[in-house]
Structure formats: structure tokens, C-alpha cells
Amino acid sequence: MTDGLYIHIPFCHQICFYCDFNKVFFKNQPVDEYIDCLGEELMMMRREGMFGGGGPLTIFIGGGTPTALEDRQLEKLFSHICSAVPTDRLIEFSTEANPDELTPDKLAILWENGVRRLSIGVQSFDAGLLERLGRTHSPNDAERVVRQARETGFENISIDLMYGLPEQTIGQWEHTLDRALSLELPHYSAYSLIVEPKTIFYNLMNKNQLPLPGEDTEAGMFNLLMERMAQSGLRQYEISNFAEEGFESVHNKLYWQNRTYAGAGAGAHGYAGGVRYSNHGPLKKYMNAVSEGRRPVFEEHRVTASEEMEEEMFLGLRMTEGVRFDRFRKRFGRELNDVYGTRIRELSEKGLLASDGESVRLTQKGIFLGNEVFQEFLG
């Protein structure tokens, strides 16, 4: 039985220039057939006992863009979820959304089907930067959709922001933070741009046509982000995530706590029974497998005990609460210091980790150099 369930909708009405997620243009795709395959895959998971009797603690519908679906397709998706997934244990049901697609009708469909948390891809409140990212919504769309979501009844709303964007200045980032925080939401996520292979930005970068801010400017933006969130009473509970008490993302915390989750849909990943798996990414392969009555799993990897400990460290250290000694002992039957004492000591001497005897966590300096720390725990 898994703790979480992730459901992937791989369709988008636009392709953003930085995006390397598994997605395709919505137009001319077999969207209805895909949703039926998802329903069938969820039923297979149920028959295999992945949801147990009580079902997952969290469901997260992501993408791609779930809100790219038409109203009746969304209804169909929820009817499949409802048939296959028990919800007795469910404590959080989230959906990702794009501001220009989340109409009042779609908001009502989400609400009526039990979704109570929205994660909205706003990215910036600067119209020029949104265009530069290949986004199709305006800053006003973002504010309107938050207002309409509240009118529908949603309180648990998060928006995603990005910084370190081409030619972005600290002043522009501050303006985005001002507008974002004036919405008084209980949760914000903010990520620095990472230029991934096979994206439009990657091609531009290789042609020297992507003028990104320097490292110092980006660090300044991260610093400003942390300052402004703290001033607004939002706690940084993970490197890139800030929330009011009680509004942390339960689903994302499952990942960082190295707990189990089922992943359904093309290219989705899961972690269950000590095995990490990924589904076929291409729609055709995914749908063919399901149509032939097989779980559409492309790759499986049984996680060894030492890999599991590494994951526990580099995922757990992302959270400001860090990795707890007692949880490590309970999970692995070994003392954290017996396994990683030397590395923890070395990183502490560099001022990157701190330990209070109950847990080990990143220091303020370590938060800026997180990747350097995580690498130390990789075999």
C-alpha cells in the first residue's frame, strides 16, 4: 500500500521554453483514450493492492497541465479516480493548474470532486518575462484565478514562481514577490531556472542567446525570496517551499521523507515495495501496454539498503527540519552517525550542516549550497 498517488496528464496547450516534463501539444492527441487508459491503469494498481483498503493519504494530479483538459474530460478523469481509488485515508487532494485555463466551471468540477488544494503555475508577475518563458497567461490572469478559486471555496492555494530568468533584474523579482505576497496565500513555491537539455532555452543557451543573471544576482534573488517570505510569516519548510503553519504540501513531503507513492500515467514514476519504477513516456507505448492488459512499466529498480540510506539523506536534507536521528534508526536499524558521521562532521566543519543531537540539517550557508551537500551523500 502506498502513501501517495501521483497522476500524470501529459497535455499542454503551449510548450514553455524551459520545460523538460513529459508532455505533448494537446491538439490532435487521443486525450479521451488516454484518460480511459489512466482509469484502467488505476484499476490494475488497485487489483495489485497498491492502494490497500483505505487508499493513499494524498493524491496529486500533475502534468503537463491537468487543466488543459476539457470540462467533460476532467469529469471523466475524476469518475475513473473515484471508481479505482479508495479515499478513506485521503488527507490531501491537489491539482496543478495554469492561470489561463482554470475557468470557474473547471474550478467547480475540481471542487465537486474533492480537490481541495491548487498549485497554480504563475511563474512571474512580469508580462515581458512571462512572454520570454513561452507562457500564455498574463499577471492579471493569475490574480483573477486566485480570486475565483477563493470564491469557489478553495483556501489551500499555492503558486509557483521562477527566478534567475533571462535578463531578470533584482527589481523585477522584487516586483513579482510583492504582487505574489499581496495575494496573501498560505503557500508559495519558488525555483531558480535550470536550463535542461531538449528545451528551447537549452538551444538558445548553446547559441549564446540566453543572457541569464550571474550567480551572485541569482543568490541575491534567493536571499530576497527568503527574507520576504519570512517577513510575511511564511516558514521555509523546504529549500524552495514556504507555507503558513498547517499548509505545507503533504504530498511533496512524502517525496522528501522518502515514503512510498504510486505513479500513474505516461512517464510517471513510483516507489513501492522497495522498487522505484517509471512508466513508458511516449503516449503510444503507454497506451499500448495498458490496452494489452499490462501495467505500463518501462523500468524498475530495486533500491538497495545503501541507496535507500543515501536517498533518505539527500531528500531529507531538502527540508528545513532535516533528517531525524530517531527516524533513521527506526527505518534502518543503524545509527545515522555510524553510517554518515565522517561526512556530517566534514560538512559541519565547512559550515554547511548543523546537528542538535535530534536531527541534522542544512545551515543557512548550506541552503545556498544544497547541491554540493547532497552530492556528498551520493554513492
Shortest distance, position 193 Cβ to ligand SF4, whole Å: 12
Backbone phi, psi, residue 90, to 5°: -65, 125
Tell me the window of 11-19, 32-40, 104-112, 124-132 that interacts with ligand SF4 (CB under 6 A).
11-19
Q: How far apart are CA 149 and CA 155, in angstroms?
A: 8
Residue closer to ligand SF4 (CB basis): 56 or 121: 121
Among 39, 55, 63, 366, binds ligand SF4 (CB under 6 A): 63
Q: Name every residue whose Cβ is closer than 8 Å to that of residue 321 and which is 6 or more positions away in sequence.
A: 237, 359, 361
Q: How far apart are CA 308 and CA 15, in angstroms?
A: 35
Name the packing angle between helices 325-332 and 305-316 (round to 10°): 160
The residue among 175, 155, 156 whose CA lies nearest residue 165 is 175
Q: How far apart are CA 371 and CA 192, in angstroms?
A: 13
Q: Is 19 in the site for ligand SF4 (CB under 6 A)?
A: yes
Q: Is 191 in the site for ligand SF4 (CB under 6 A)?
A: no
Residue closer to ligand SF4 (CB basis): 163 or 314: 163
Q: How far apart are CA 19 and CA 17, in angstroms?
A: 6
Q: How far apart are CA 261 and CA 248, in angstroms?
A: 18
Tell me the window of 14-22, 106-114, 185-193, 339-347 that interacts with ligand SF4 (CB under 6 A).
14-22
Q: Is 267 in the site for ligand SF4 (CB under 6 A)?
A: no
Among 67, 95, 98, 258, binds ligand SF4 (CB under 6 A): 98
Among 65, 176, 258, 359, binds ligand SF4 (CB under 6 A): 65
Shortest distance, position 16 Cβ to ligand SF4, whole Å: 3
Q: Is 213 in the site for ligand SF4 (CB under 6 A)?
A: no
Q: Is 132 in the site for ligand SF4 (CB under 6 A)?
A: no
Q: Is 120 in the site for ligand SF4 (CB under 6 A)?
A: no
Tell me the window of 58-66, 149-157, 199-207, 314-322 that interacts with ligand SF4 (CB under 6 A).
58-66
Q: Is 16 in the site for ligand SF4 (CB under 6 A)?
A: yes
In the window 233-252, what residues touch ligand SF4 (CB under 6 A)?
A: none
Shortest distance, position 64 Cβ to ligand SF4, whole Å: 5
Segments in the chain forming alpha helices (H): 31-47, 71-84, 104-112, 127-133, 139-152, 170-181, 200-206, 215-231, 250-256, 283-291, 305-316, 325-332, 336-349, 364-368, 370-375
Q: Is 23 in the site for ligand SF4 (CB under 6 A)?
A: yes
324-327 contact pairs (CB < 8 A, 24+)? 324/358, 324/359, 325/357, 325/358, 325/359, 325/360, 326/358
**What is the longest distance spanned by two Cα atoms in the chain?**
58
Q: Is 64 in the site for ligand SF4 (CB under 6 A)?
A: yes
Burial class from Cβ neighbours inside 10 Å (0-12, 13-18, 19+) for residue 83 reads: exposed
CB contact at 8 A, 355 and 341 = no
Q: DSSP letter for 319, please.
A: B
Residue closer to ligand SF4 (CB basis): 98 or 279: 98
Residue closer to ligand SF4 (CB basis): 29 or 236: 29
How many Cβ atoms from other residues are within 10 Å of residue 198's Cβ? 8
Residue closer to ligand SF4 (CB basis): 16 or 146: 16
Residue closer to ligand SF4 (CB basis): 61 or 272: 61
70: helix, strand or coil: coil
Among 15, 82, 127, 194, binds ligand SF4 (CB under 6 A): 15
Shortest distance, position 50 Cβ to ligand SF4, whole Å: 25
Residues binding ligand SF4: number (CB under 6 A): 11
CB contact at 8 A, 200 and 19 = no
Shortest distance, position 33 Cβ to ligand SF4, whole Å: 20
- Report the interface residues with ligand SF4, using CB under 6 A: 12, 15-16, 19, 21, 23, 63-65, 98, 121
